[in-house]
Amino acid sequence: MGLPKRILFLLEDSPSSHIRFFEGMRMALGFSVSHPGMEMVLMGPSVRVFGPVRPGEIGLPPELLEFFPLFDDLDIRIFADRESLSRYSPSHAPPPSIHSIERSEILEKIRSADILIPFGPGGRSTW
């Protein structure tokens, strides 16, 4: 059996604009069970999830906000793009378990991933 694959989920959709964000989180949770060490990066409008999101009011499943504690329990590392945080969520800090990183670090994570699973506009990454 080979070395474990380095899986990276890249979420770029706003949690309030499309169900794709919720589906990306659900898929990442599923992968995290069988791929320890999986990582996730939130970029662009996806960092709005750290603000005052009320899923039921915008037609999303209420379980949306339950993902982060589960990822934390499973030791899944989640990163947020520092530039996106200052642009889309300037008055809401992410939870302490979310690591704020620079774009150069995100690019390195993308380059070093064996499998990149993007959830962005149109179902693909803008990177």
Domain limits of the chain?
Answer: 7-123
* Separation between Cα atoms, residue 117 and residue 52, nearest integer Å: 26
Q: Tens digit of pLDDT for each residue in 32-51?
A: 888 888 999 999 999 988 87
pTM across the whole model? 0.86
Is the domain 7-123 a CATH 1.10.10.10 member?
no
Cα torsion at 110, 77, 123, 102 (round to 10°)?
-50
pLDDT digits (tens, 9 = 90+) for 75-121: 899 999 999 999 998 888 888 889 999 999 999 999 999 999 998 87
